[in-house]
Homo-oligomer: A and B are copies of this chain.
Amino acid sequence: MSRELQNLSKETPRIDALERVTGQAHYAEDIYLPGMLFARVLRSPLPHARIRGIDSSAAEALPGVRAVLHSKNCDVIWSSGDRHGRRRLFADPARFVGEAVAAVAAVDRHTAEEALGLIRVDYEELPHVLTIEDALREGAPQVFPEGNIEEEVLRFETGNIDEGFRQADSIYEGEFVSQYLNNAQMERRVSLAQWDGDRLTVWASTQGIYNCQKDIAHDLKLPLGKVHVICHYMGGGFGNKNQGYDFDLTAALLARKTRRPVRVEFTRHEDFIAVHGRWSTQQHYRIGYKKDGSITAIHLKAYSNMGAYLRSHGNLQGPENYSSPNIRSEIYRVYTNRSCSANFRSPPAPQGVFAIDSAMDEIAERLQMDPVEFRLKNAIQDFSADKKPLTSNGLRDCIRRGAEAIGWAEKRRQYSGQSGSIRRGIGMGIGTWSGGLGPSSAEIKLLPDGSVKLMVGVTDIGTGAKTTMALIAAEALGLPLESISVVWGDTDQTPYSPGESGSRTTGDTGLAVIEAAKKIREQLLTQAAAHLKVRREDLALRDGKIVSSANPGQSWSIAEVTATNIDAISAAVTTQQPDDGSKSGKTRLSFTAHFAEVEVNLETGKVKVLRFVAAHDSGTIVNKLTARSQVQGAVTQGLGMALREELIWDGHSAVPVNNYYHGAKPMTHPETPQIEVIFVETEEPYGPFGAKKLGEAGMVPTVAAVANAIYQATGIRFRELPITPDKILIAMNPSRDRKEAVALPPG
């Protein structure tokens, strides 16, 4: 970093830490409005069923029940529930176990729940499919009349794949499988809706207040300005809370019908199945390579199980992380009668990188090359897969510094040729993170007392975004952090934001904050020069005072320039597309290399991660404290995905059997090893003060690093996630029946 930074690249506690840890922060479920009703949702017990009829008369007659909605009295389409707009708010037919069938609003929770039991639904059961294999079988039950495969195939092609394989000395082939797992964020779904006349306010737990606004307005046919969405605090989402949701619409419709505020709440069980999780995949890799270790061709053919509706793209990260001149990737999206698959922190990456970085380790081994050396040779370098120059690239520094930190060379040697039942291994993986989601906005007011209101349409989803935005504003304005008040999370209060996803906030909204700050400084100092009869170029803003460089002792308060006019100095900036380098035809990527050291007990099949090093190039780190937390949280999720997590549907009934924390077993912090985070702060010309994206990058190669470490420890290549003790035991003792082990009850 050549610039001298006052506020950034330091360890700064969150500006809202106090209210978060003392219970003063108000989440959607902390809001109680006078006369508020509680709503509960009735869900389909069948994976595929037509709904012949619904009798809700007994429920409606229950004292305390105020309204019942279902497919026979409400035909609203929840359009962000399916990219093709095929999803009704209340299912008919139901396409997965847990799909909403009806909703009840009542004076209290217990009455609402009792009323659910009084609704009589006449289901006509239809045949169903759960797996990619079954869905593709000839004559399989059809989730949609159009078939079980999404018509549009995701294709990427560069170079000449056939020529690439011709140039290869050898060809690697491997098949990888990953499972569905839920985002499992702490905060359950809550949506509270209230109408003021024809204007709707929704307190949502959302990553994207403006997405939520847009989707609700669209589905309820309201003008955008009539929908007000508030999300002041939220307890995690990990990609699972970035649209308008069915429960938002349900709350709004019930509130309209009852003329009362209505809160829809999910139980933890509902939360696991009625929203979405990560798409499970089958990935087939064919990779051509030369004796010298260079890669000539990568061909990925994969299937993503999207569940019952198409809610996200279903893509996979992988081939683009390596500098092969010839790449072909084709990804087929498959429909099944399961809960939907959609975005979960770095949506296409951990399962994709698990596959390619397992494959690359296998190739390195065949070539007798060290995995670190192999990646230093082949990792993406100056250009992206689509041949655009990269704005900066610290990946090789990440690989080298991570390897050094974990003691790669020595441990790799030490752990080769072990015996006994306790074996150790070391492994690595690499990843990238890109993205850019369109316009970013920020608004700043400099108040007469020298304090600042910074308005950004972001929600702080746990990343510390409020603090990050305040730090960037303080830096750009030349004011102390304490003078900045952030206004956030309210469509009536803040400018547009495309939502906190794609790790976009620091890198994109940060640029808008800097632009607004520049305008503020310029206005203030120009007005000051005119008002104080001082040359503009002699004035600067420092610590809330206007200071003169011509006369060092002299300073003026901001109020001396603005008088009492609160609106005197304000600036609003919208960048249609923040300049992340794309205007110059470049691509801005973040990079990461992860290293895991594991111990495998061959008698119990248990894997213990002893140490983890995560090296990241995200340019300048705005706040090292929260950035490190981001990576540690992401790695923790990656470890769970590698070793434990999978939502299991009963093969016969299609009922999810472990849709709760204890059953789903997400990794918790006390279970994780020491996670060491290294920041490689490359000189990035396009980020705000040189910052690039971070949050999602933290999870990209975690699974791959663990899988590769287990391979070194056991000599067994696990190609199916999660790598659970039963799989390890079966692999160590191939005579045991694999099916039997997999069918062990969860938990």
Contact = CB atoms under 8 A, between A and B. Distances in A.
Interface of A: 15-19, 22, 24-26, 30-34, 195-199, 210, 214, 217, 223-226, 232, 259, 438-439, 441, 445, 447-453, 455, 482-485, 487, 490, 492-493, 495-496, 564-568, 570, 572, 574, 576
Contact of A492 (B487, B572, B574): B487
Given A32-B34, A195-B24, A570-B572, A224 B451 contact: yes
Nearest to A450: B223
A448 B455 CA distance: 21
Given A496-B565, A567-B574, 18 more contacts: A18-B198, A24-B195, A24-B197, A25-B196, A32-B32, A32-B33, A223-B483, A224-B448, A225-B445, A225-B452, A225-B484, A439-B567, A455-B492, A493-B493, A495-B570, A565-B576, A570-B572, A570-B574
5 contacts: A18-B198, A196-B232, A214-B566, A439-B568, A487-B492
Given A196-B16, A197-B24, A217-B449, A485 B565 contact: no
A80 B676 CA distance: 55
Top 4 A-B residue pairs of the complex, sorted by shortest distance between their CB atoms: A223-B451, A225-B485, A567-B574, A496-B566
A30 B34 contact: yes
A259 B567 contact: no
A566 B224 contact: yes
Contact of A197 (B18, B199, B564): B18
A623 to B, nearest CB: 17
Number of copies: 2
Contacts of A450: 223
B226 A451 contact: yes
Contacts of A15: 197
Contacts of A565: 438-439, 496, 574, 576
A672 to B, nearest CB: 29
A30 B32 CA distance: 11
A574 B523 CA distance: 14
A449 B224 CA distance: 7
A448 to B, nearest CB: 7
A610 to B, nearest CB: 38
A565 B570 CA distance: 21
Contacts of A195: 19, 24
Nearest to A18: B197
B447 A223 contact: yes
A495 B32 CA distance: 28
Nearest to A574: B567
Nearest to A485: B225
A460 to B, nearest CB: 12
A199 B17 CA distance: 12
